[in-house]
Structure 1
Amino acid sequence: MNVPGKKVVVITGASQGIGAGLVDACRRLGHRVVATSRTILPSADPDVLTVPGDIGDPATAGRLAAGATERFGRIDTLINNAGLFIGKPFTEYSQEEYEAIIGVNLTGFFRLTQLAVEEMLRQGGGHIVQITTSLADYASSTEPSVLASLTKGGLQSATKSLAIEYAARGIRSNAVSLGVIRTPMHPDDYDEELARRHPLGRMGEVEDVVQAVLYLEAASFVTGVTLYVDGGRSAGH
C-alpha cells in the first residue's frame, strides 16, 4: 500500500557497510526501503522489505521491483550500491572473476534500473544513484583495477545517458564516486596504508557516502553528475 509523502527507496548491496548505512539513513528520514544482498536477513521493521539474492541474476531484479510495487506501491529512488572489486594485474584475472564482477557491477545494474525506470515513468518521476570508484577516472600504478574501470566507468557513462534520456520525464540520474571507505571489506591492519592514498590523509567513512547520496536525493536541479567522495584523490597526488 502506498502512503502519500513517504518515498520508497530500493538499495542493493544493503546488508553491511555503505548499503546498511543507506538503509538506516533512509529510515531516519521516514522513507520505506526495499533492500537486497546475498546474505540479507528478514527485517522486523514493517517499512523495510528485504529480498535476498544475487543481484547479478536478473531474477533478483524482478523480485525486487515486484516486491517494491506490491508492498509499497511505487519506486521513488534506486541506489545501485552493490559492487564487487578485485584488484590485481590485468593478465591475472580469471574468467570466473571477470564473470562475477560483470554480473554484480553491470548486469545487476542494467536489469534493475530498467524495471525501476519503467515504474518511475508510470509515476511521473524518480531518482537513480550509482555508487562508483574514482579509479575509473584516475588510474593508479599502485592499484591495478581494470575490471573496476571497465564496469564502474561504464556506470558513470550510463549515469549521464540516463540523465539526458529521461530529464524531460522527471527522472534524475547521478553517481557518487568513492575513494577507499572504511567498511568490513577492509581489514583494520591496512587502515594506515589506505589512509595515505588520500590527500586528506584518512579513509572515508560510511557517513561520508550517505551524506553525498542524501544531498543528491534532495538536489532537484542536479542530474547527470558524478560527485567525488574520495578524499581528494581525483584532484591530484
Structure 2
Amino acid sequence: MNSRRVAVVTGASQGIGAELVTAYRKLGYAVVANSRSIAASADAEILTVAGDLADPAVGPRIVDRALAEFGRVDTVVNNAGLFVAKPFTEYTAADYAAVIGVNLTGFFTLTQRAVAVMAEQGGGHVVNITTSLTDHALAAVPSALAALTKGGLNAVTKSLAIEYAGRGVRVNAVSPGVIRTPMHPEPTHAALAALHPVGRMGEVSDVVDAVVYLENSAFVTGEILHVDGGQSAGH
C-alpha cells in the first residue's frame, strides 16, 4: 500500500479550507480538496472533487476518489459549513434543510466512509471545524441552527474518539471564534473584534495552526480546541 499520507479537506476552495490544503501539502500530504465548485489544481498531489456535501452520495464519492488516486485516506478535515444567522422563529424549512445538509449529512456520509477506511488501515485522524457559539451563545448573533449542528459535531467528536481509540483513529475538533474572512465585510470588523476578550478577530492562520497542531499530536484525541480569543471562557 502507498505509504504517502493523504488528507481530505472539505470547503477547500477559499478561506480556511484553501489554507488547510496548502498546510497539508507543506506537511508532505497528498490532498483531496472538495467544495461545491472547485477548479482543478496544477499540483499533481492535489485532487479536486467538486460536489455538494448535502447530497448523501458526495461524501463516499470523495473517499472513493481519494482511494482510486492515492490509495489511502489518513486525515479528514470537515471544514465545510453553512451558517445562517436568523431569529429562531424565522428559519425556514429551506434554511433547516440547507444547514443540516452540509453541517450534518455531509459530515456523516464522508466521515463514516473515511473512518471505515482508516480503521482498516490501522489509523487515521478526523478534525471537525465547529464554532465557539455552541459554548458561548450571543444575543446579538442568533444562531440556533449553528448550535444544533456544530454542537452535534462537538458531541460526536468525543463519542467517535472513544469508540475508535483502540483502533488508532483519532477524532478532534477546532472551535473557532469569528475569523477574518471575506464573509465578514470590513464595516463589521470592529463589532466582531469586540466579541473576543483579546479584542480582535481571529485570522485564518490561527485556525490552520490549530489543525496542524492536532495533526502532529498523536496523544491528543477527543479534544475540542477553542481558537476564539477567550470567547468561550467568558467576558
Shared topology, TM-score over 0.5?
yes
Deviates more, 1:134-143 or 1:15-24: 134-143
Aligned to 2:20: 22
Return the alpha-carbon distance in structure 1 between the equivalents of residues 181 and 37 of structure 2.
16
CA contact (8 A) 2:2 2:72 kept: no
Gaps of 5+ in 2: none
Return the alpha-carbon distance in structure 2 between the equivalents of residues 150 and 101 of structure 1.
10
Aligned to 1:110: 108
Aligned to 1:195: 193
Return the alpha-carbon distance in structure 2 between the equivalents of residues 62 and 162 of structure 1.
18
**Number of matched pairs:** 235
Q: Deviations over 1:20-71 (max 9, x none)?
A: 0100111112110001001211111100000001011111112201110000
Aligned to 1:132: 130
Q: 1:177 and 2:210 equivalent?
A: no
SS at structure 2 position matched to 1:58: coil
The structural deviation recorded for 1:14 is 0.4
**TM-score, normalized by length of structure 1?**
0.97
Q: 1:34 and 2:29 equivalent?
A: no
The letter of the residue matching 1:129 is V
Return the alpha-carbon distance in structure 1 between the equivalents of residues 181 and 51 of structure 2.
21
Gaps of 5+ in 1: none
The structural deviation recorded for 1:145 is 0.7
Aligned to 1:76: 74
Return the alpha-carbon distance in structure 2 between the equivalents of residues 95 and 58 of structure 1.
19
Return the alpha-carbon distance in structure 2 between the equivalents of residues 204 and 169 of structure 1.
34
Deviates more, 1:135-144 or 1:100-109: 135-144
Give every structure 1 segment of 4 or more consecutive aligned residues whose post-TM-superposition deviation is greater than 4 Å: none
Return the alpha-carbon distance in structure 1 between the equivalents of residues 81 and 180 of structure 2.
15
Aligned to 2:45: 47
> Quick one: which of 143, 146, 151 aligns to 1:145?
143
The structural deviation recorded for 1:3 is 4.1
Q: Deviations over 1:129-158 (max 9, x none)?
A: 000001111111111110000000000000
The letter of the residue matching 1:175 is A
Aligned-pair RMSD on alpha carbons? 0.8
SS at structure 1 position matched to 2:207: helix
> Quick one: which of 172, 180, 186 aligns to 2:184?
186
Aligned to 1:57: 55
Return the alpha-carbon distance in structure 2 between the equivalents of residues 71 and 153 of structure 1.
33
